[in-house]
Amino acid sequence: MVLNNTLIFGLFTGIVLILSLVLDKNKTVLGLKKSWKMLFNILHPFLNILILLSIVLFFVPNSLIVNYLGANSGWFGFGIAAIIGSITLIPGFISYPLAATLLSQGATYAVVAVFMTTLMMVGIVTLPLEIKYFGKRAAILRNVFNFIAAIIIGILIGWFM
Amino acid sequence: MNKHIKNYAWIILFILFSIGSYFLGFKPGAVIYSNFNQFLIEMITIIPFLFILIGLFDVWFPKEILEKHMGKESGVKGIFLVILLAMLQAGPLYGAFPVAYILYKKGASVKNIFIYLGAFASMKIPMLGIEIGYLGIKFTILRTLISLPLFILIGYIMEKMVGKDFEVKEVKA
């Protein structure tokens, strides 16, 4: 599964890279230099997060997660996932492996989709900061509409997958 | 050099901890290391490709060019460009707020600012790459295709509801 996705992604990257090289060699080299720099900058925070996740996963037994969000959790699990996702702020590097773990433990795609989407689009923890930028009304409205959108996305993905 | 040592302090500690656990037969250490190893292998197969794409995207589509075409009269082209700009970026959603301020300053419409935030939240290329790696290409494409019309709609609704007296303030650290 993972290998398959890697193959597709690698192939796609290869085609884009060749296309870019043919069009403009200098630009491509400059782009690759930027790639390397960005990769290097993100490397240590990224490894730190993997370490943290490995430790957290040791202390939080899968049975606990599965109980609340697993195959038999139904609408209750869907609601819990939406609420946790809306309140918390988990970086993608942590949330995607977690989502994959949930799926492998029997959580439905709907639960995973609503969890991921609320994480990405709704932020209660960051709301005070958002209000400073956009004002109270706009910030709250944005979060409310995005929450509704996340519920729709969760239900539709559960339906299609 | 000092800075590098500080940056990698946790990683060095973790390696020492894992080696120590191995020789002392410390079970939790072994489990934690095996967790880490799984994550690492999964990521190593995706990350290099990802960053090649980001770097190339960055040189072929400079932000300055994109930011020019996102104003009130920009129509579908503006929506398209604002989504493209958001897809280039990385980081958590609150990292997009300062960019929203710059877009506002440069005359982007209210609609385009909120479409930008929607695209930033759910369609960043680095995150899409990771999503494909972990949740599969079908899930990723499906989620993106369902999200896209929804956050464009949210952009239009937000412009209707707050458009008149909307402003983005600069927040200083």
Its ipTM equals 0.72
3 state SS for chain B: CHHHHHHCHHHHHHHHHHHHHHHHCCHHHHHHHHHHHHHHHHHHCCHHHHHHHHHHHHHHCCHHHHHCCCCCCCHHHHHHHHHHHHHCCCCCHHHHHHHHHHHHHCCCCHHHHHHHHHHHHHCCHHHHHHHHHHHCHHHHHHHHHHHHHHHHHHHHHHHHHHCCCCCCCCCCC
In the predicted structure, residue B154 carries a pLDDT above the cut 90: yes
Count: domains in chain B: 2
Provide the pLDDT for residue A115.
93
Secondary structure letter of residue A64 according to DSSP? H
Mutation for testing the A interface, residue in B18, B53, B138 having most A CBs under 10 Å: B53
Provide the pLDDT for residue A79.
94
Q: Of B76 and B126, which is predicted with more confidence?
A: B76
Residues B86 and B33 in one domain: no
Sort out which chain A residues have CB atoms less than 8 A from B28's CB and list them: 58
Q: Is residue B18 one of the residues assigned to a domain? A: yes
Residues B119 and B150 in one domain: yes
Q: Write the burial class of residue B163 (CB in 10 Å: 0-12 exposed, 13-18 middle, 19+ buried).
A: middle
Q: Of A33 and A125, which is predicted with more confidence?
A: A33
Provide the pLDDT for residue A24.
95
Provide the pLDDT for residue A4.
65
Distance CA B11, CA B5 (A): 10
Please answer yes or no on whether B143 and A157 come within 8 Å at the CB atom: yes
In this structure, are residues B54 and A35 in contact, taking their beta carbons and an 8 Å threshold? yes
Here the tokens at position B28 are 């939790």
Structural domain that includes position B39: 2-44
Residues B17 and B76 in one domain: no
Q: Is residue B148 one of the residues assigned to a domain? A: yes
Q: Is residue B171 one of the residues assigned to a domain? A: no
Q: Of B113 and B41, which is predicted with more confidence?
A: B113
Residues B135 and B59 in one domain: yes
Split at pLDDT 50, 70, 90, the class of B137 is very high
Provide the pLDDT for residue A130.
92
In the predicted structure, residue A95 carries a pLDDT above the cut 90: no
In the predicted structure, residue A140 carries a pLDDT above the cut 70: yes
Here the tokens at position B10 are 């946790």
The A residues from 70 to 129 touching B (CB cutoff 8 Å) are 89, 91-93, 96-97, 99-100, 103, 109, 112-113, 116-117, 120-121, 123, 126, 129
Q: Beta-strand (E) ranges in chain A? A: none
Residues B95 and B155 in one domain: yes
Q: Of A134 and A8, which is predicted with more confidence?
A: A134
Residues B102 and B137 in one domain: yes
In the predicted structure, residue B145 carries a pLDDT above the cut 90: yes
Phi, psi (degrees; rounded to nearest 5) at B66: -65, -40
In this structure, are residues B158 and B114 in contact, taking their beta carbons and an 8 Å threshold? yes
Provide the pLDDT for residue A1.
46
Q: How far is CA B62 from CA A25, A27, A67, B11, in A?
A: 17, 12, 47, 35
Sort out which chain B residues have CB atoms less than 8 A from A5's CB and list them: 46, 132-133, 136-137
In the predicted structure, residue A62 carries a pLDDT above the cut 70: no
Distance CA A82, CA A121 (A): 11
A161 at interface of B, judged by CB pairs closer than 8 A: yes
Q: Is residue B169 one of the residues assigned to a domain? A: no
What residues does each domain of chain A span? 2-58, 60-160
Residues B110 and B147 in one domain: yes
Q: Is residue B167 one of the residues assigned to a domain? A: no
In the predicted structure, residue A152 carries a pLDDT above the cut 90: yes
In the predicted structure, residue A41 carries a pLDDT above the cut 80: no
Q: Write the burial class of residue A10 (CB in 10 Å: 0-12 exposed, 13-18 middle, 19+ buried).
A: middle
Per residue in B32-72, pLDDT (tens digit) is 998 888 778 877 777 788 788 878 877 887 666 666 777 77
Range with the largest mean pLDDT of B6-10, B70-74, B100-104, B136-140 = B136-140
